[in-house]
Structure 1
Amino acid sequence: MSELLNHIRDVMRKKHYSVHTENAYTDWIKRYIIYHGKRHPGEMGESEIAQFLTHLARDRNVAAGTQNQALNALVFLYKNVLKIELGNFGHIERSKKPKNLPEVMSREEVSAVLSSMKGKHLLMAKLLYGCGLRIKECVRLRVKDIDFGQNHLMVRDGKGMKDRTTMLPDQLKPLLHNQLKKVEKFISRIFGTEWAKFTCLLHWKKISQCGKRTDMEVYFPLGPYRKGSSQR
């Protein structure tokens, strides 16, 4: 089984699937194989897929989105890895979709949450809310992705490995400038002032080469440098 799962991961990486999707798909495929007594997927087909999906809805009571993810994982397995075309699955007991409306925080609730935060965490929360960023997109933010003149951010390798631009509120610009100064001071304490200026303004990859921070995390370092601690 491990050889097959490794092959699945290789195929997904060649197609630039996210690590999250890769882990989710391989987990569902592993469950599918175990459910059918560790039979090789190549020996199974539409009937076994339908049985597994019905089991998820009837016995495991999974949500509709979870069942759909399992289906997508198995379709990917047969279509892209095993090169087997699937036909009609027959009857599949579907999970019921909830009819509840999504809960959306009011402006007052958002203000209450933000007022309880401070420092870089407050800035990150404001970026999430004001720029419509996902958490991963926020922590990957780089200096070159911010256009202060045009008031927009460039989100790189977002959902679906796609780039997009989003608006940058004016009130966040001074906060971002202040954060950049803090990061420059943080780097200068470790590597020296001139090197810090070069790193902060031109080539942030140098940090990852030194093993301290990746170039994707330069706007929000994980914590203060402590004297005597290892840079690696």
Structure 2
Amino acid sequence: MGYRRGDGAVMPGQGVVRGPTLIDEVRRRIRARHYSVRTERAYVGWIRRFVQANGRRHPRELRAVHVQAFLTALAVEGQVAASTQNQALAALLFLYREVLGCALEGLEDVVRAKRPQRVPTVLSRSEVSALLLHVEGRTALLARLLYGTGMRLMEGVRLRVKDVDFERCEITVRDGKGGRDRRTVLPSSLVAALREQVAFALAIHAADVEAGAGDVWLPQALARKHPGTGRQAGWQYVFPARGLSVDPRDGRQRRHHVDEDVLSRQLKRARIAAGIVKPVGAHVLRHSFATHLIESGYDIRTVQELLGHKDVSTTQIYTHVLNRGAGAVRSPLDRVDGA
């Protein structure tokens, strides 16, 4: 007689038999909906915290009042950001609706974490130039690409060879925020360097294929519907990882894209070297891209399309610019002083 672990393995010499755990089922449902690995990890983490906060009782024994108390404690005692509380709520709603098949009602009294209204951190053109000058190594091109296209960090590292159009100087961003595709500009100044990077990525892929590997992760059920697609050159990442790694979902060995934390660390070092006192992350490059376009007189609708914002009101945050463009504001002190 043996027992069955959460991963389905049967261990000898034990007298207890059990089926998949709750977390196993959560993971199965998440993967059936093709959610990202990041989302899976976040949801599982929140569900575990919720269970632990309620004395490790099974969620079937808990009700909306327990969810309400958990979310309120995050805001009041934990003082988490509004986005963090919303993520926890999404995880618990997924648990009850998709896994347990229960409707959760009565969450209207949850104390919501306050969402601060902040203008984005933006670098001047000279600051961007100084920052990029100090970004070194294989991430230097990626940093320039994020600023030159307005892509988010994960959109950049997940860029595939087939989505770079050198003839039209366009990049197609697949499955961006909200699951939307869009096109953005490919800076002509980066064409030569990006061609070299693509050639480098394809050379690595060819070596992987020669060694019996060369498969890349494919979205949704594409790999099952079209066997062999993952070995095609066009589906390879433009910025591949240095080595092969094991996919945590299916245990297969593949070459993933470069770790996004590599660029984050480079930007931190570059900021210090450039003497920039503002906080700088990859998203600041996206903010700077949008602001500099508006400063140059581009229509806000154009900027909205390049950024992939669903609503133009999201893009309007970049109109905080005070000293550039047609809507520039000049301080009255400058006129008094004759400046």
Q: Would you call these one fold, judging by a TM-score over 0.5?
A: yes
* 1:1-232 aligned within 5 A: 3-183=21-201, 187=204, 199=206, 206=209, 209-210=212-213, 218-222=237-241
Secondary structure of the corresponding residue to residue 184 of structure 2: strand
- The answer to whether the 8 Å contact 2:132/2:143 transfers is yes
| In structure 1, distance between residues paired with 2:159 and 2:112 | 40
How far the C-alpha of 1:106 sits from its partner, in A, is 2.1
TM-score, L = length of structure 1: 0.77
| In structure 1, distance between residues paired with 2:72 and 2:38 | 24
Identity across matched positions, percent: 44
| In structure 1, distance between residues paired with 2:93 and 2:241 | 39
Residues 8 and 218 of structure 1: CA distance in aligned 2, closer, same or farther (over 3 Å): closer
How far the C-alpha of 1:91 sits from its partner, in A, is 2.2
TM-score, L = length of structure 2: 0.55
Higher helix share: 1
What whole-Å deviation, never above 9, does each CA across 1:36-80 have from its counterpart, x for those lacking one? 111111111111011111111121111111111111111111111
Secondary structure of the corresponding residue to residue 84 of structure 1: coil
Residues 45 and 124 of structure 1: CA distance in aligned 2, closer, same or farther (over 3 Å): same
> Paired residue for 1:190?
none
How far the C-alpha of 1:130 sits from its partner, in A, is 1.1
- The answer to whether the 8 Å contact 1:45/1:86 transfers is yes
| AA aligned opposite 2:238 | Y
Secondary structure of the corresponding residue to residue 165 of structure 1: strand
- The answer to whether the 8 Å contact 1:130/1:168 transfers is yes
How far the C-alpha of 1:207 sits from its partner, in A, is 7.0
Unpaired segments of 5 or more residues in structure 1?
188-195, 225-231
Secondary structure of the corresponding residue to residue 66 of structure 1: helix
How far the C-alpha of 1:120 sits from its partner, in A, is 3.3
What whole-Å deviation, never above 9, does each CA across 1:90-120 have from its counterpart, x for those lacking one? 5222222224333222222211111112453
| AA aligned opposite 2:31 | R
How far the C-alpha of 1:125 sits from its partner, in A, is 0.7
Residues 5 and 160 of structure 1: CA distance in aligned 2, closer, same or farther (over 3 Å): farther
What whole-Å deviation, never above 9, does each CA across 1:148-190 have from its counterpart, x for those lacking one? 1111112234334543322211111111123344456x64xxx
Residues 213 and 88 of structure 1: CA distance in aligned 2, closer, same or farther (over 3 Å): closer
| AA aligned opposite 2:182 | R
How far the C-alpha of 1:212 sits from its partner, in A, is 9.9
| AA aligned opposite 1:43 | E
Unpaired segments of 5 or more residues in structure 2?
1-5, 7-20, 218-230, 244-254, 256-339
